[in-house]
Amino acid sequence: MHLFKITAAIILFTCLFSCKNESPTMLDMKSHEAFRPKYHFTPDSMWMNDPNGMVYYNGEYHLFYQYFPDSTVWGPMHWGHAVSKDMVTWDDLPIALYPDSLGLIFSGSAVIDWKNTSGFGVNGNPPMVAIFTHHNMDGERAKRLDFQTQSIAYSNDNGRTWTKYEQNPVIKNPGIKDFRDPKVIWHEATQKWVLVLAAKDRVKFYSSPDLKSWTYASDFGIENDARLWECPDIFPMKVAGSNTEKWVLITSMQSGAPNGGTGTSYWVGDFDGNTFTCNNAAASQKWLDSGKDNYAFVTWSDIPASDGRRLGLGWMSNWQYAQVVPSVKWRSAMTMARELSLHQVASDFILKSKPVDEFKKLEKNTKTIDAKASKEPIVIMENMTTAKLTLSFKKPSQGAVIVRFSDSQGNHTDVGYDVALQKYFIDRSHSGITDFSPEFKGKHLSSNPYMSTQLDVMIYLDHSSIELFAEDGACAMTDIYFSTESYSKAEIITSGDVVELLGGSVTELAK
């Protein structure tokens, strides 16, 4: 995968270099803002992938991210930085971490060291500490196995400036080529820091009293897994409606996601500060989102107990085509910030997700949609390009219920429910520009079947993305699309029976 990323970067560099000063088209395209979402985070320009270092401090949500400031394809990684007071509107800040002699700055996390265990704090204020992977290019070129190590840096000014620890790395590589993406949490019960990182086909846990010296604790994985694991996260959650606490382990998988390519998965189990256990691990892996475009989803650290929510977001793309999507000035957006909740279903546990309530402040002009039964299309939205749709349907006895979003050229994306399969879907086969990758087009199905007799869906439309939340958030699907003219119309169509719309609303979202 990294070879692929690097080759793509070299090709683009060569092209940019040979086109330099010669191609007005290239210049025009550089200022091209088409596809820019209205309410999803994007870098102003250039390449972005995973969210990193997500931490809340002094009233600000920090979003660091994998960033290459010199190109719109992946390249030498930095940590870009933005802050927000509400996870809806973001202020761009200067790059936080630059590559150095130990390597590029790959994914990782950040915490507030409230007890100043690291000693990095000054004037009685706790330091913000970032824990990330150093990826050493010389080591990779020399085909060594130990070129990924874990390092730390600290900030005493709300994440604005950073000092790298002089004794980096803090975790050396034990001889595993893919050894990265540390996520650190404070483990209350054992009063120590716990770090989880991805190591090829599993995760590894470490612990530390001070964020500097780390002791290996355990591995968690499944037998004979051929997939590469990335970007783990671990956190405790109360099961909704009970006092039971379980631990959720998130792992992003670089292949084999429900609809192909990369996706975010999770396990629910127990964690004692050293070992994560869950019954029948192989059968317990679930997908956080079954659309194609939610990768490296991780959660914010240090959300105050008085808030109590578990909040996170993911990179809204897929490594299958992320580097060739047709946006020009910038590449990739993040998903909406989401709130997770944990629910028991029979003897199983599932995560539900929904956009954070803060997005309600964007809601303008709600139009109520009346109940209607029809075999003909029902137009529910016109002349609106960013919207939230809340709709309820009676499940038909056959065929599918479809909400079709379209532009005036006939490009469209269908969000629906297939009665025979009992699955939700997003079909972007005719969504607009799709020819940049053979993996992009297609109809994507939810990973689980759902048998409810009433279909309640919430759909968020932005200039190049659709996010579906159904079954009270048990089903989340995120797909991006690229239509040069934004979708501005939504209609309900049926592929069989009369569709019975029970009612709903369409709300414009505007900043």
Residue 78 CA to residue 117 CA, distance in Å, equals 27
CB of 466 to ligand FRU, least distance (A): 22
Subset of residues 201 to 260 that bind ligand FRU, contact rule: CB under 6 A: 230-231
Q: Is 462 a catalytic residue?
A: no
Cα separation, 406 vs 381, whole angstroms:
10
Closest separation in Å from C-beta 321 to ligand FRU:
13
Cβ closer to ligand FRU: 50 or 289? 50
Residue nearer to ligand FRU on the CB measure, 48 or 129: 48
Query: Which CB atom, from 186 or from 295, has the smaller least distance to ligand FRU?
Result: 295
3-state secondary structure of 309: coil
By CB under 6 A, tell whether 264 contacts ligand FRU: no
Kindly state the tokens that stand for 286. Answer: 């679930």
What 3-state class would DSSP assign to 372?
strand
Query: Strand, helix or coil at 474?
Result: coil
DSSP 334: B
Q: Contact between 180 and ligand FRU (CB under 6 A)?
A: yes
Name the residue nearer to ligand FRU (CB basis): 174 or 209. 174
Q: Give the neighbor-by-neighbor strand order of the sheet with 192-199.
A: 179-187, 192-199, 202-208, 215-221
Q: 64, 67, 106, 440: which one contacts ligand FRU (CB under 6 A)?
A: 106
Q: Side-chain half-sphere of 29: how many Cα atoms within 13 Å?
A: 13
Q: Does 316 bind ligand FRU (CB under 6 A)?
A: no
Among 87, 126, 170, 181, binds ligand FRU (CB under 6 A): 181
Provide the greatest CA pair distance for the chain: 69
State the Cα–Cα distance between residues 48 and 335, nearest whole angstrom: 13
Strand 348-355, strand 78-84: pairing = unpaired
Gap between the terminal Cα atoms of the chain: 38
Do 297 and 251 form a contact (C-beta atoms < 8 A)?
no
Q: Per CB under 6 A, does 77 bind ligand FRU? A: yes
Binding status of residue 107 toward ligand FRU by CB under 6 A: yes
**φ/ψ of residue 180, rounded to 5:** -160, 180
Q: Are 162 and 96 in contact (CB under 8 A)?
A: yes
Q: Quick one: 68 or 349, whose CB is closer to ligand FRU?
A: 68
Contact string 114-133 vs ligand FRU (x = CB under 6 A): -------------------x
- The site map against ligand FRU for 2-41 (x = CB under 6 A) is ----------------------------------------
CB of 80 to ligand FRU, least distance (A): 11
Between residues 66 and 488, which has the closer beta carbon with respect to ligand FRU? 66
Q: How far is the CB of 216 from ligand FRU (least distance, A)?
A: 20
**466 in contact with ligand FRU (CB under 6 A):** no
Pick between residue 198 and residue 378 the one whose CB is nearest to ligand FRU: 198
Find the shortest distance in angstroms from Cβ 75 to ligand FRU: 9
Q: How far is the CB of 432 from ligand FRU (least distance, A)?
A: 25
* Residue 49 touching ligand FRU (CB under 6 A): yes
β-pairing, 276-277 vs 489-494, is unpaired
Answer yes or no whether residue 500 interacts with ligand FRU by CB under 6 A: no
The owner of tokens 């070879």 is 3
Nearer residue to ligand FRU within complex by CB, 334 or 492? 334
Q: How far apart are CA 296 and CA 50, in angstroms?
A: 6
The distance of closest approach from Cβ of residue 199 to ligand FRU in the complex, given in angstroms and rounded to an integer, is 11
Name the token pair of 293: 């475009």
Q: Are 257 and 297 in contact, with CB atoms under 8 Å apart?
A: no
Catalytic residue among 44, 50, 157, 181: 50
What is the spatial distance between Cα 109 and Cα 185, in angstroms, rounded to a whole number? 9
Q: Which two tokens stand for residue 362?
A: 């964007």
CB 509 within 8 Å of CB 362: yes
Neighbours of 259 (CB within 10 A): 22
Q: How far is the CB of 463 from ligand FRU (least distance, A)?
A: 23
| Contact status: 66 vs ligand FRU (CB under 6 A) | yes
488 in contact with ligand FRU (CB under 6 A): no
Residue 16, SS3 per DSSP: helix
**Cβ distance to ligand FRU smaller for residue 263 or 504:** 263
Site string for ligand FRU, 132-151 (x = CB under 6 A): -x------------------
Would you count residue 296 as binding ligand FRU (CB under 6 A)?
yes
Q: What are the angstrom distances between the C-alpha of 386 and each of 214, 342, 506, 507?
A: 47, 29, 10, 9
Report in angstroms how near the CB of residue 99 gets to ligand FRU at its nearest: 12
Residue 67 touches ligand FRU, criterion: CB under 6 A:
no
Catalytic site positions: 50
| Residues lying near ligand FRU in the complex (CB under 6 A) | 49-50, 66, 77, 106-107, 133, 180-181, 230-231, 296
